Amino acid sequence: MATAAEIGARFEQQGGTFVQSPDAMAARLQQIRALVFDWDGVFNKGEKAQGLSSGFSEADSMGVNMLRYALWRRDGHLPIAAIITGERNPSAEQFAQREHFHELYQGVKDKGRAMASFRRQHGLAPAEIACVFDDINDIAMAADCGLRILVRRKASEMLRDYLVSSRRCDYVTANESGGYPVREAAELMLGFSGRFEEVVASRCANDEVYRAYLAARQAVVLDAATADDVR
């Protein structure tokens, strides 16, 4: 099994940037019980047009599912999965429903407040949350999380420099918005978990263990909140 340093070197070769060392990130992953994602600019390019909803890719979906499966195998229960987004987005709701996420916060302007509400609702410490984000309005949401993964965007050089130099993120993806950065983040954490090969083999075989995980995942009923519901 590859070490965290060896896995980190592979991601660095592809253009990823480690702010925390791979060893430190792998150690933090041991505490992670929840996965929180921004939507626009994370699962997609964040582009908007009249009547159009920014969507998602199956590559990112598979990565998230395998990461949830790995954490389920480790802990014996599902990690809490959530999307916190500043806009109301039918595609985000479709994805969260289909993938049986626990929470979807939409139309949220104060994401730090939404994250605090999420932590209280599920009894989570900040160190138990991994957050994937991309922009200024996400910084408060990601601030105290145990793992903070920033989606790269070449147009945001100043922002990336600020977040790296102030150590407000732990890793910057090699892939930009629209280039499957969620899959990259999921595979990085999967690698650090030491369970990549076993979850892939189990999913390919659709074995009894995977079917038990899938039954647990499918039993989750999405709680879709709006900005007015955040307390």
Q: CATH no. for residue 73?
A: 3.40.50.1000
Q: Which pLDDT belongs to residue 107?
A: 92
Contact criterion met (CB below 8 Å) for 73 and 183: no
* pLDDT band at 137; cut points 50, 70, 90: very high
Please indicate, yes or no, if residue 189 is contained in any of the structural domains. yes
Beta partners for 133? 150
Contact criterion met (CB below 8 Å) for 111 and 129: no
Q: Which pLDDT belongs to residue 52?
A: 55
Query: In a 10 Å sphere around its CB, with 0-12 CB exposed, 13-18 middle and 19+ buried, how is residue 209 labelled?
Result: middle
Domain range enclosing 209: 4-223
Please indicate, yes or no, if residue 115 is contained in any of the structural domains. yes
* Lowest-confidence segment of 94-103, 105-114, 152-161, 219-228 by average pLDDT: 219-228
Rounded mean pLDDT of 81-103?
A: 95
Please indicate, yes or no, if residue 43 is contained in any of the structural domains. yes
Distance CA 83, CA 186 (A): 15
Tell me: the pLDDT tens digits for 191-231? 999 999 999 999 999 999 999 999 999 999 999 865 556 55
More confident position, 211 or 1 = 211
Rounded mean pLDDT of 100-109?
A: 95
pLDDT over threshold 70, residue 13: yes
Number of domains in the chain: 1
- Gap between the terminal Cα atoms of the chain: 44
- C-beta atoms surrounding 113 within 10 Å: 16
Distance CA 68, CA 191 (A): 13
pLDDT over threshold 70, residue 48: no
Distance CA 73, CA 231 (A): 33
- What secondary structure letter does DSSP report for 180? -
Q: Is 142 helix (H, G, I), strand (E, B) or coil?
A: helix
Contact criterion met (CB below 8 Å) for 171 and 146: no
pLDDT over threshold 80, residue 118: yes
